[in-house]
Structure 1
Amino acid sequence: MPEHTRQPHLTVPDAKGLARVQRRTLRVVVAGQILGGAGLAAGISVGGLLAQSMLGTDGLAGLPTALFTLGSALTAFLVGRFTQRWGRRAGLGLGFAAGGLGAIGVVVAAVADMVPLLFVSLFLYGAGTATNLQARYAGTDLAEPSRRGTAVSVAMVSTTAGAVAGPNLITPLGDFAASLGIPPLAGPFLLAAVAYLAAGAVLLALLSPDPYLLARAVTEAARADDGGTSPAAVVRRPGAGAYAGATVMILTQIAMVAIMTMTPIHMRAHHQSLAAVGLVIGLHVGAMYLPSLLTGALVDRIGRVPMAIASGVTLLAAGVVAAVAPGDSLGLLILALVLLGLGWNFGLISGTALVIDATVPENRPRIQGTIDVLIALAGAGGGAMSGVVMASSSYGTLSLAGGFLSLLLIPVLFWTHRPRAVPA
């Protein structure tokens, strides 16, 4: 039986009704993203430091990022498929629940000093990271085409509160964990467990009617009214914009993850405090999400491609500043990581909008999930290689490599958007 017939019939409301559902959807997504943001900050802030402590080596400090990014890749695939069949609510709710269980496992592994359990739990913890990223699509399902960038930005900016607070709670969460007999570096994962499980509960309970299922019903009704083809006959190949958007998001993810992962290690090697690490990462995560409302408006107003190009240029600037900054210069490292987050923000929102524009409801979740798999795998590669590059060379070399890599998105954009000759 085709996928589009597997759901119960949804009554399609009028334009005002759809606008009301969209507003409610955005409110629920905002609540879920605030909670989810607090959960994802743990792995960014202390995952590498916890592995360094348990493994006793810097060379594998990028492994936690690689593990939870691989976990996010699998989850992105599954969430895309779940959404295609059962809607956003099921996919996002279950993804956050898995991330919460992974965070609990990290805490148990730290207490028991069980490295294999740490690795498995970090892999599972990555489910929350992928789900937090996938939630940005829920706000776009019912959005007008001219407002898609803004809709993505609403979901992303909502992540800021939790994501910025998380790294800056490293010290108090560490003290709280120590009072419970838990290693201090595992403290942020206590917050992640609660945050992810709460985010999943909010989405499962409140994301109704399901925005994706309703968007698909709207498309089917419009097609039937126009006497068009049935949903099963719709061409399922995405447009060129989907490939361009995927490339933008993949390259920006590699650059961001590689530099971000090694920054706490670099700072600790120069005797900077955990509080300083938390400040730098907190501001970095803030730059990843806080400018989203402005970025979304710019993506809708001046275009997807110009903002994607701005992403590559900003990431290059971040790499250069990080490379020349002395290891004990808190100010310059803050500037570098803020630019890094801002470049990633430009790339993710413009790339997401390119993908949405190039897909239709019948194929959108599947393609979105597949692209997020590639993004996650790119991040895993960046995280794994970052430790190797830094151990064999330097943080400066790593930062420059990440910055220049991001510029590759510019020729790809020009290639995919060049005028095509019309056959005679």
Structure 2
Amino acid sequence: MTTSEPLEGAALDAAVKRNAIVLTAATAFGGSMMPIAVAFGGLAGVYLLGPDKSLATVPVTALTLGSAVATIPAAILMARIGRRAGLVLGAVPGILGGVLTALAIVAGSFWLFAAASILIGASAAFGQQYRFAAVDAGTEMARSRALGLVMAGGILAAVIGPQAAILTRDLFSPIPFAGAYASIAVLAVVGALIVSRVRDLVPPRPRGSSHDRGRPLLVIMRQPRFIAAVLCGMASYAMMSLVMTAAPIAMVGCGLTQDDAALGIQWHVLAMFAPSYFTGRLIERFGKNAIVIAGLLILCACSVVAIAGITLAHFWIALVLLGIGWNFGFVGATAMLTETYRPEERGRVQGLNDFLIFAMSALASFFAGVLIGGPGWIAVNSIVFPTVALALAALALASLARGTIARPSP
């Protein structure tokens, strides 16, 4: 439902909380698509390609590329037609992608599989807008807690996605993986039905309207705080994508089973979203910078564990640390970003932010295949350290410059 008159004060915060609950439930199902596609994308690529692993992660790269390409259109579309309509429409490519990837595996077509994966990634880009929909309005405390609650919906997605994949993987036996990808279409439908209950708290901008568009993007992008937020978000997401994409292939290559790999991704996704129950409160208490720094350092700890050994315990502990580090780094960076734009600028800035993050993540997932098929698992994890150092440097410079703007009251 939409609102015909603006809400204020406690009523607005109550509406923000209700939206957060709906978005959390939608995340549990719609957000399950990506864990399935990531857990089995590289393995299905190996199945379709044979012994050459260098291109096996191209389908996972296609997922991230689809997200990168769709981020700005998703943000613009929602600014035009509202959150609810935009989020429902965003499930359509997920439904089509699930059907087409399943058909591609049955047909034995690697490149159709990779192309159809782009659609799943595009749908995920709309899903990434859930976190922005949670912070469209309300007080600072209400927004922080809503953001944490929506991100915590990924806990359910972490259980629903991998378990659905394991249960349906052999649905079209003897052809593996096709059933898991067919389940993506079903999950996308359920997510769309749930998200249709979201309430638009910010009126959509009329088509062709140029009134109150805010500052030019270049002006916004020159803010040190914006640069730091984007770089920290890129580092958190890209390094997570790099290690996560390579992990299932590395695990199977080290003698572990496909189910070990799927459960490893499940533990990883749980670790990505479980901290969200208290990340918002940690940000309130310790500040955005401290949480981002903690996340980046935990990413480094993940790589230390991964380099230390190749047992099941090493892989699973590393993947758990990878998830926690991503959560603190990414959620903290998202909260930082909200300081750099005004309400009328949110669609363009959020779209640009997600485009940059997913474009870098697409590159990371592609090079995961190149590295795992060449230098190996240690090389994958070694890249994390200089990337984190760059993000920390940007954050330090932004803190010195104190280049933030005050967020106007909703």
Q: Same fold (TM over 0.5)?
A: yes
Match of 2:176 in 1: 184
Structure 2 residue 188 is the aligned partner of structure 1 residue 196: yes
| CA distance in structure 2 between the aligned counterparts of 1:407 and 1:385, rounded to whole angstroms | 20
Pair 1:395 & 2:377 matched: yes
Residue of structure 2 aligned with 1:235, choices 182, 201, 215: 215
Matched-pair contact (CA < 8 Å) for 2:241–2:365: yes
- 1:206 is aligned, of 197, 209, 217, to 197
1:266 to 247, 250, 258: 250
Go from structure 1 to structure 2 and tell me whether the alpha carbon gap of 1:233 and 1:274 turns closer, same or farther (over 3 Å shift).
Answer: closer
Question: Which whole-Å CA distance do the structure 1 matches of 2:178 and 2:296 have between them?
Answer: 34
- Output the CA distance in 1 between the equivalents of 2:306 and 2:119: 31
- How do residues 252-401 of structure 1 correspond to structure 2 at under 5 angstroms? 252-326=236-310, 329-401=311-383
Match of 1:38 in 2: 32
CA contact (8 A) 2:36 2:162 kept: yes
Per-residue Cα deviation, 1:210-265 (whole angstroms, up to 9, x for no partner): 12328x99xxxxxxxxxxxx962743543432222111110111111111111111
- Residue matched to 1:25: 19
SS at match of 2:400: coil
Residue 117 of structure 1: aligned partner: 112
> Per-residue deviation at 1:9?
9.4
Alignment-mate amino acid for residue 49 of structure 2 = L
AA aligned to 1:27 is I
**Mapping of residues 62-141 of structure 1, within 5 Å:** 62-141=57-136
Hey, what's the Cα distance between the residues in 1 that align with 2:109 and 2:159? 29
- Larger-Rg structure: 1
Conserved? CA contact 1:157–1:292, under 8 Å: yes
| 1:55 paired residue among 49, 74, 94 | 49
For residues 214 and 102 of structure 2, the distance between their equivalents in structure 1, rounded to whole angstroms, comes to 47
Q: How far has the Cα of 1:192 moved from its partner?
A: 1.2
Match of 2:399 in 1: 417
C-alpha distance in structure 2 between counterparts of 1:116 and 1:265, whole Å: 19
- Distance verdict in 2 for CA 1:98–1:212, change over 3 Å: farther
Q: Which residue of 2 aligns with 1:406?
A: 388
Query: Could you tell me how far apart the structure 1 residues matched to 2:230 and 2:154 are?
Result: 22
- SS across alignment from 2:212: helix
In the alignment, what sits opposite 2:408?
none
Asked whether the 8 Å contact 1:168–1:275 carries over to 2, the reply is no
**TM-score, length of structure 2 as denominator length:** 0.91
Equivalent-residue separation in structure 2 for 1:417 and 1:360 (angstroms) = 20
**Distance in 1 separating the partners of 2:46 and 2:202:** 42
Aligned length: 394
- Runs of 4+ in structure 1 off by over 6 angstroms are none
How large is the Cα RMSD of the aligned pairs? 2.2
Compute the displacement of 1:10 (Å).
4.2
8 A Cα contact 2:67 2:124, kept in partner = yes
Write the deviation string for residues 299-318 of structure 1: whole angstroms up to 9, x where unpaired.
12211111111111110110
Mapped to 2, the partners of 1:129 and 1:258 lie a distance apart of: 18
Q: Is the 8 A contact 1:280 1:333 kept in 2?
A: yes
1:150-189 paired onto structure 2 within 5 Å: 150-178=145-173, 183-189=175-181
Partner of 1:148: 143
Contact 1:243-1:355 at 8 Å conserved across structures = no
Structure 1 stretches lacking a partner, 5+ long: 1-7, 218-229
Is 1:241–1:416's contact at 8 Å kept on the other side of the alignment? yes
What amino acid is aligned across from residue 121 of structure 1 in structure 2? A
- SS of 1:143's equivalent in the other structure is coil
Which sections of structure 2, spanning at least 5 residues, go unmatched?
404-410
- Structure 1 residue 275: deviation in Å? 1.6
